[in-house]
Chain A
Amino acid sequence: MSALESLKALAGASPRQVQARDVLTDLGLPGRQLEGWKYLSLRHLEKLELSAPSGDFDGDLSVYDIPGLSAARLVWVNGLFNETLSDSVQGLTRTPNPVDLDWVSPELDGMAAANLAGGQLIEFAVTDQLVMPVHCLFLVTGEQQAAQPRVQWRIAANAHLDLLEQHAGEGANLVNMVSQFELDRDARVTRYKLLNTQAATHTAHTWARVAGNADFQNHMIDMGGKFHRDQIRVELCEAHANTRLNGLYLVDGRDVSDSHTQIDHCVPQCTSAQHYRGIADGRGKAVFNGIVYIGKNASQSATEQKNANLLLSDKAEINPKPELQIHNDDVVASHGSTVGNLDEEQLFYLRQRGIGETQARALLTFAFAEQIAQALPSQALAEYLEARFATRLPMDVL
């Protein structure tokens, strides 16, 4: 059985799931025929028979802790929420029998359809300012399983959520995730998505809707792996909604990292900012596609988008694709995208201070990634990443 057939076979029996399965049948798995997938394909999956996920885990969870980050832990094993392994925290409630927000339409692509057809929907409501961050651990164990978490967050007016979403584990499964965030007025969400899986095929759709004066921050950190695709869309729905989307992708070997962002300015007076950076070494391949849509009515919008890429090898590949679609004259918009080598003037400056060329290059490579780590509101996470850079970047001389 092919991946497509096995995903269809894993569909649930509710009318919505059956409908989504039919959409999946029509669409098939996404590939180069779709604009958003044109740089890569899921061909490596096509012939794999995927099985239902196993939610068991009896290993040590503390190895996934971030030193210095004290957080309440919620655990999913291969896409299935594990209540026993999860903490409870005041102000955070799991909704019984949740109703799907349905923003990520199955029509988007085959992966969105497969998730709706076969995923397990979990909803959390945040009603207060939580006393500690929430650490959502998505463990990947085993192989050829279809892990399809589907998670909804409803953030009440004035409530705050700091969320670390960590994907970890040595498993070689498909992780096909959907996340939806609903932010009521004056709510704040800071979400860190940390991709630490090497062997898994990871695809994700995230959708956030941000009400008046609310703030949604997303920091996506892809430490590199076989196939990582992260697609996020943020709708700014009422005046003074704000979003920041930052990202860092480090690819080496034959890693693939594919980031797609879309920010919709639907109404006047909203602000958005993006800063994505990537480093490609070996035969690594990365894509950054950033769409900012400013609608006809969205006057006095402000948006900025920065994307910088560092190529460390002739065989590495980076495809930046910034897209600003602006339908209103009264906006402030800027964007810039670069792909290049290390800055020669910076290199000379460091060497003039006596730092050897190899060390100076290593230092500047670190500095390139560090600019995203420095921008993380969590100091603990920034330090954790800085330590991990050493294993992912050519900086062993430092």
Chain B
Amino acid sequence: MLEIKNLHARVGDKPILKGINLSIGTGEIHAIMGPNGSGKSTLSSVLAGHDDYEVTDGEVIYQGENLLEMEPEERARAGVFLSFQYPVEVPGVKNIYLLKSALNAKRAHQGQEEINPVEFLKLVREKLKLMKMDEAFLHRNINEGFSGGEKKRNEILQMQLLEPSLCLLDETDSGLDVDALRIVGEGINYLRAEQRSFVMVTHYQRLLDHVRPDFVHVLADGQIKASGDFSLAQRLEKEGYEGLLAEA
């Protein structure tokens, strides 16, 4: 699904990613954990194509294509979805408009016709129910005045609708209370499928208790310092990043 080779990236003059190597197989769930400032969020932003970050070396191959040469919208249409750590508020644009435009952009890319309004509403209602969101959300401006938990649920709602191949979840657990965390976790689990891969960037283990990863990587100082299975996350929770990284 995704091959990251020797990826280097910087913001301005400051190098953040210093040689990331990572292979994500189809259907796999990877967790990327690390202390603050380790480069976790940078990695997901670079993969999504945010132009604040400049890639200085390395390559990323997504489904056989050079991901780094694609525009953000091309990546999205090809099935790369980023659930933002801080979902952006867009006053003046209704949620339903975003959902429909995004879905139709993807369908156009796949050579399909625009979805008909009745079918669209049926689909959206189904997803809203899953995320325990009220239909009123559709007619509110994108993320405007949403609580932290509502914003994150709205991200997963979009993910549900777009059914991406590669889901990048950037600190999706941050700012969630226990109930919201459970709903978001269920939302992610619902999407787990053989042909779909996940990269979950997180500081804590708590989301991983809901969505069990196949692989766990520890990112520090722009490099992956340790990789393992779920037990690595459990060790991290006990020993902390300092203990584990000292050993590595």
A contacts, CB < 8 Å to B:
345-346, 348-357, 359-360, 363-364, 366-371, 374
Question: Which residues of chain B come closer than 8 Å to A348, judged between CB atoms?
Answer: 50-51, 72, 88
Report if B211 contacts A (CB, 8 A): no
C-alpha spacing A220/B162, complex, angstroms:
40
Chain A's closest residue to B87 (CB) is A349
- B102, A354: Cβ atoms under 8 Å? yes
How many A-B pairs fall under 8 Å by CB?
Answer: 76
Question: Which residues of chain A come closer than 8 Å to B239, judged between CB atoms?
Answer: none
Question: Which residues of chain A come closer than 8 Å to B49, judged between CB atoms?
Answer: 351-352
Report if B203 contacts A (CB, 8 A): no
Question: Which residues of chain A come closer than 8 Å to B89, judged between CB atoms?
Answer: 346
Question: Which residues of chain B come closer than 8 Å to A369, judged between CB atoms?
Answer: 92
CB of B60 to closest CB in A, whole Å: 16
Report 23 cross-chain contacts, Cβ distance below 8 Å, ordered by A residue: A345-B88, A346-B88, A348-B51, A348-B72, A348-B88, A351-B73, A351-B76, A352-B48, A352-B75, A352-B82, A352-B84, A353-B158, A353-B162, A354-B76, A354-B77, A354-B106, A355-B105, A356-B73, A363-B93, A366-B93, A368-B92, A370-B92, A371-B91
- B91, A353: Cβ atoms under 8 Å? no
C-alpha spacing A366/B142, complex, angstroms:
14
The winner among B87, B88, B158 for most chain A CB atoms within 10 A is: B88
B contacts, CB < 8 Å to A:
48-51, 71-73, 75-77, 81-82, 84, 87-93, 97-98, 101-102, 105-106, 109, 141-142, 158, 162
Question: Which residues of chain B come closer than 8 Å to A368, judged between CB atoms?
Answer: 92
Question: Which residues of chain B come closer than 8 Å to A352, judged between CB atoms?
Answer: 48-49, 72-73, 75-76, 81-82, 84
C-alpha spacing A369/B93, complex, angstroms:
11
Chain B's closest residue to A359 (CB) is B101
Chain B's closest residue to A366 (CB) is B92
C-alpha spacing A363/B102, complex, angstroms:
13
C-alpha spacing A363/B95, complex, angstroms:
13
C-alpha spacing A356/B119, complex, angstroms:
24
Question: Which residues of chain B come closer than 8 Å to A359, judged between CB atoms?
Answer: 101
